[in-house]
Structure 1
Amino acid sequence: MYFVGTGMTTPASMDALESAANTSRVYVGRQPIFDRRRQVVAYELLFRSGEDNRASFSDGNRATATVLGNTFMELGSEVVTGGLPAFVNITRDFVLEEFVHLFPPDQLVVEILEDALVDDLLLDRIQGLRDAGFRIALDDFVLSEENRALLKHADFVKLDVADLGLEGLKAHVEAVRVSGAKILAEKVETPEDVEKCLDLGFDLFQGYALSRPVVVKGRRPAENRFALLDLMAVAADPEIELEELERCVSKDLGLTYRLLRYINSAAFGLRVRVDSIRHALNLLGRRLIQTWINLVVISEALGEGSELLTTAMVRARMSKTVAECWKIDNPDACFTAGLLSVIDEVMAQPMEEILDRLPLAPDVDRALRSREGPIGDLLETVVLWDRGRWEEVLEKDIDIDLCSRAYLEAIHWAGTLIEHQDEGENDE
């Protein structure tokens, strides 16, 4: 199981998650890592933005998110590495924010970059990764007083053959060997480099002399709407443990990103920043977070900018606003009913079949199936209003001014939320 940690999510990493979530074609570069018998024992995975076998990026967080997302969420690690361990450059931000915990520790080797600031916070997070079962590699390691403390946390130390030279390699091999870490020679460019590193006692080898990187490519799979429906069922289950709910959401990078972005929008009106799924659960509570999971799932199924998504948002907001004025118990349930009133169109399935798969609260279920009960009466009014069926609206004994104000406010609210999504910003 993979979990989002409780570390804070910075705007940089939110942008990186968005990049990983929104690209239709996916690419990953890979270069094999060999043992002393010249057997492939792992791969280093490299950022690639296209079939051109070159790394071109300016944002390390985005490159990290893209490599991880494309490997584990899109193409699949079996396709990319054949089940062998994947060495991936991980930025300091990603280590501190604990997004690495989204991924399987038995398949991912965390490469700490040579330019990462080494302090107690980083060392604490690295130890947490090791405690969770991740292995740690130090990339392009050049020993100094500032980074010496990393050695006791390292499972692998990568030494740049081209940069260090023979004497530098000898000194580093001697220093690293004491730590017990395996020593990996990278940028092994010639047969002479291979022989030199074998003689020096290196354990692992990587470079053009052995194999050049290749690009693994594919397309993001088409949206599986029934998988999204299953997630809605999990979210609606009143018996689910919070840890299981967190796991179900957190294993999808795109869903995690969109949920956090929605909750941190100005339309949500929170005074504090929600920085992780765990934080959201603790701050908002099960009922409210489940409601917002439904909203994000509909957004995932339809795609942002869909008119049907706007309809769902407007109905949800109007339902809650009117419910509060009508003193209906549990306005959040009314929000859910309004939101799900379009679910049959979203999933292109009969409402009854969809509801059979969703363990909704009985009053919400009745409202959606047959417009029965207080929530059903409210939902019928909201749907009629949204469709402009004024003659039927006027037959009801309702406050027209109240509904008009609630509808206009709902349109503004939905517009604010969608505008926030389009901008890709996180308002405080």
Structure 2
Amino acid sequence: MDIFIARQGIYDCEEKVVAYELLYRNSTINSFNSEIEDELATYQVIENINSFGIDNLTNNKIGFVNFPEKLINKNIATLLPKDKVVIEILENVNPTEEVIKNLNNLKKQGYSLALDDVENEEDIKKFVNLVDFVKVDFLLSTKEARIKIAELCKKHNIKMLAEKIENLEALNEAKELGFRYFQGYYYSKPSIFLSKDIKIKNSSIFLILAELIKEDSNFEKIENMIKRDVALTYKFFKFINSSYFNFIEKISSIKEAIMLIGKEELMKWLSVLSVIELSSNGNDEHTSNTVIRAKFCERIAELIEYEKKEDAFLVGLFSNLHLMMDKDLKNLLKDLPINNNIKEALLGEESILRNILDLVLAYEKVEEDKIKKLCNIIGVDEGKLWDLYFYSLDWSKKIAH
């Protein structure tokens, strides 16, 4: 399925792009769909940031992301890397005790905050000790209001960003008032990014969430539930590759990654996925066959006592990823925190993992000569392949229910 996101440049006094605001889009129409709820729009932006990669979207600059009140209170912002984003507090957010507490927690964790669409100084006062940026709407605010806003921001050392700058007159006024950052059609309109994504089974997400809610969550069970869905596994690895987690070592298994990031962050991420429209023209039968292939690879690795059977599973699971997403495989693998042995096998380099995958592919196509040759190379009794395949088929049926 197609996914969309837009970005609009934020400029400094030297007219250099220093950041981008990342905006919701659901088509190539370059405008916000006002029928979409703020919460759903932000959920979709967060997931699409994960799909595209934030550095790809921002050219390694900072990304500004809108957050409505409900998501501030759900602490969803921690799914984004604190050194890569500014959390924009939407203009309709009420400065309740809960909101202020949660914004304070984000500040303590190192996040920068911006107050969006400010029209007068009263909009700022209850957030004045929290925000790093104030974004002033130059279309809706009056000149007198902007003077008072500038005085208040200077007093509290808050950076000022003039938004909806549409002509030179507005830009010159902003500069005279001490604004140092600018955004609007005078500089550029939002530009849309288009990419492909793959379908996730909603049932997978809800079953995992149900297990995570338990006090004695079974991480092996959760790992198996993630493993049965190719799209979910791929997205999970993309998610943990976020610089927010900053893992030094490559991840060796899904279970290890779950333990490292913790239940709370995993639940937040799955909650984001659960509210997004997860519909596409994906082929469920094709996906199911890929899961069988992955388990078949893992069983062969077990039989020959290969030390990392998890690697064999991932090689099988990701073997058709490029076809499912209609993208170059090398570029897809670049963003996944999996070890080089898996990547090299998927790219066709000679190795035991590649031989296992080739054997499974040959078995699927009933290529008898190739099966015999690869069994000899790997050291597998050809007569045992049917049992291994039947086990994998049975396993895939059981975990689907």
Q: Give the unaligned 5+ runs of structure 2.
A: 234-289, 311-386
Q: Which moved more, 1:195-204 or 1:145-154?
A: 145-154
Q: Does 1:33 align with 2:23?
A: no
SS at match of 2:118: coil
Matched ranges for 1:225-304 at <5 A? 261-263=206-208, 280=214, 283-285=215-217, 288-300=218-230
Would you say 1:151 and 2:128 are equivalent positions? yes
Partner of 1:399: none
One-letter amino acid of the counterpart of residue 62, structure 1? L
Q: CA deviation at 1:300?
A: 3.7
Q: Secondary structure at the match of 1:34?
A: strand
Cα distance in 1 for residues equivalent to 2:109 and 2:95: 20
Cα deviation 1:135-194 (Å, max 9, x = unaligned): 000001244667522111000000001111211111111122222110000000111111
> Would the aligned equivalents of 1:32 and 1:44 in 2 still touch at CA under 8 Å?
yes
Distance 1:133 1:142 in 2: 27
- Conserved 8 A contact 1:161-1:185: yes
Shift of 1:348: 5.3
- 2:308 aligns to what? 357
Aligned counterparts, 1:71-150, within 5 A: 71=49, 73-143=50-120, 148-150=125-127
Aligned-pair distance for 1:294?
1.0
What pairs up with 1:46-61 in 2 under 5 angstroms? 46-56=23-33, 57-61=35-39
Instruction: Tell me the equivalent position of 1:7.
Output: none
Give the conservation status (yes or no) of the 8 Å contact 1:258–1:296.
no
TM-score, normalised with respect to structure 2: 0.58
SS in 2 for 1:171: helix
Q: 1:115 to 1:414 in 2, by over 3 A?
A: same
Q: Percent identity?
A: 25
- CA 1:213–1:145 in 2, change beyond 3 Å: closer, same or farther? closer
- Shift in alpha-carbon separation, 1:169–1:85, aligned structure 2, 3 A: same
Q: Any conservation in 2 of the 1:343–1:351 contact (CA below 8 Å)?
A: no
DSSP-derived class of the 2:171 partner: helix
Note the C-alpha offset of 1:259: 6.1
Q: Is the 8 A contact 2:121 2:149 kept in 1?
A: no
Q: Is this contact kept in 1: 2:91–2:117, CA < 8 A? A: yes
Write the letter of the residue equivalent to 1:357: K
How far did 1:289 drift? 2.9
Contact 2:85 / 2:112 at 8 angstroms: preserved in 1?
yes
Residue number among 161, 173, 191 corresponding to 1:184 in the alignment? 161
Letter in 2 for 1:178: K
Deviation at 1:203, TM superposition (A): 1.4
The structure whose Rg is larger is 1
Q: 1:67 aligns with which of 45, 69, 74?
A: 45
How many angstroms apart in 2 are the aligned matches of 1:146 and 1:188? 20
Structure 1 SS opposite 2:127 = helix
**AA matched with 1:262:** L
Which residue matches 2:177? 200
CA gap of 1:264–1:109, structure 2 versus 1, over 3 A, is closer
Q: Which amino acid is the alignment partner of residue 293 of structure 1?
A: E
Query: Aligned AA for 2:43?
Result: A
Query: For residues 67 and 350 of structure 1, do their structure 2 counterparts lie closer, same or farther at Cα, with a shift above 3 Å needed?
Result: closer
> Do 1:118 and 1:146's aligned partners in 2 also have CA atoms closer than 8 Å?
no
Cα deviation digits, residues 20-60 of structure 1 (max 9, x gap): xxxx3221111100111111110111111111111114221
Contact 2:19 2:58 in 1 (8 A): yes
Q: Report deviation, 1:357.
A: 2.2
Match in the other structure for 1:11:
none
Q: Considering only aligned residues, what root-mean-square deviation do their CA atoms show, in Å?
A: 3.2
Q: What secondary structure does 2:23 align onto?
A: strand
> In structure 2, what is the Cα distance between the partners aligned to 1:263 and 1:216?
31
User: Following superposition of structure 1 onto structure 2, how do residues 403-422 of structure 1 map, counting pairs within 5 Å?
Assistant: none
Instruction: List per-residue Cα deviations over 1:324-345 (Å, max 9, x = no partner).
Output: xxxxxxxxxxxxxxxxxx9653
CA gap 1:195/1:146 in 2 versus in 1, 3 angstroms: closer
Provide the aligned length of Structure 1 versus Structure 2: 261
Which residues in structure 2 correspond to 1:366-405 (within 5 Å)? none
Please give the secondary structure, in 2, of the residue aligned with 1:116.
coil
Distance 1:258 1:40, change over 3 A: farther
Q: Secondary structure of 1:295's match?
A: helix
User: Do the aligned residues in 2 keep the contact of 1:344 with 1:351 (CA within 8 Å)?
Assistant: no
TM-score by length of 1: 0.55
Please give the alpha-carbon distance, in whole angstroms, between the structure 2 residues aligned to 1:70 and 1:301: 14
Give the Cα separation in 2 of the matches to 1:146 and 1:193.
21
Letter matched to residue 64 of structure 1: T
The 1:40/1:121 distance shift into structure 2, 3 A limit, reads same
**Is there any run of 5+ residues in structure 1 with no aligned partner, and where?**
1-23, 224-253, 269-276, 304-341, 360-379, 388-409, 416-428
In 1, Cα distance between equivalents of 2:69 and 2:179 = 27
Q: Structure 1 residues 66, 264: CA separation in 2 closer, same or farther (over 3 Å shift)?
A: closer
SS of equivalent residue, structure 1 residue 33: strand
Pairing of 1:7-26 with structure 2 (within 5 A) = 24-26=1-3
